[in-house]
A and B are shown apart, each in its own frame.
Chain A
Amino acid sequence: MIDVLYFAWVRERIGLPKERIETQAATVADLVEELKAREDRYAAAFADLRALRVAVDQQLSEFSAPLAGVREVAFFPPMTGG
């Protein structure tokens, strides 16, 4: 089980901030494909991966990152702090 979190417009498009997912996905990219196949709102949120960033266990990461042993994955647009 992995906690999947969504922030900013990704959260709005998918319609929830967090969910627990049972997945066999090997990488973040595989998880994204699984989610996109679920429902249109996921497909819409993940339509352009260049517009998204991912954090794996709260560390900024790549879509190619493996998911073995990972507890938390978060998807969000580029950050706008400061």
Chain B
Amino acid sequence: MIIRVQTDPFDFGRESAAFAARAQGAGAVVTFLGVVRDDGGKLARMEIEHYPGMTEKALASICEDAISRWTLSDALIVHRHGVLYPAEPIMMVATAARHRDAAFQAAAFLMDYLKSRAPFWKKEFGTDGAAWVAAQEADEQALKRW
């Protein structure tokens, strides 16, 4: 299991290839990349704040839950904070399991929990000014399926 919280960009291709290379014996590897979305060309940049210490603990706990629930052979979470620009990678998850159902489900679980249980907060700076991104009720509801 690898958890990384960082300001630097990451290379999704290289991270995915390295993860897959380590996942020898797994029949399925699933990766997900989250990207800064610019709805209608109004976003200049995004700033992501986090809670150092708690963030790493929360991510590790979510990751351990996924590993034990779907018997993953490995899992990876990389999440950035600081200043991010449109089209830059924000975060990625990767899961490795014997079969694809487990790898897909574990990746979806990781994403759902990251959204509303990992202490990150996004602030958008655009042509209309700055605003904190509000949590969505749908994201909270999504946890109930697990």
CB nearest neighbor in A for B119:
A79
- Are the C-beta atoms of B51 and A81 separated by less than 8 Å? no
CB nearest neighbor in A for B59:
A81
Q: How far is the CA of A7 from the CA of B91 in the complex (A)?
A: 20
Shortest distance between the CB of A7 and any CB in chain B (Å)? 6
The winner among B49, B57, B79, B140 for most chain A CB atoms within 10 A is B49
Count A-B pairs with CB separation below 8 Å.
Answer: 69
Q: Which of B97-139 contact A (CB under 8 A)?
A: 111, 114-123, 132-135
Chain B interface size, as a band, is 20 to 34
Q: How far is the CA of A47 from the CA of B51 in the complex (A)?
A: 22
- Neighbouring A residues of B13 by C-beta, 8 Å: none
Closest 9 A-B residue pairs measured CB to CB?
A78-B135, A81-B120, A8-B121, A58-B54, A82-B115, A81-B118, A82-B114, A81-B114, A80-B133
A-B contact pairs, 7 of them (CB 8 A): A7-B51, A8-B123, A11-B49, A58-B53, A79-B118, A81-B91, A82-B114
Interface residues of B, Cβ cutoff 8 Å to A? 34, 49, 51, 53-54, 57-58, 79, 90-91, 111, 114-123, 132-135, 140
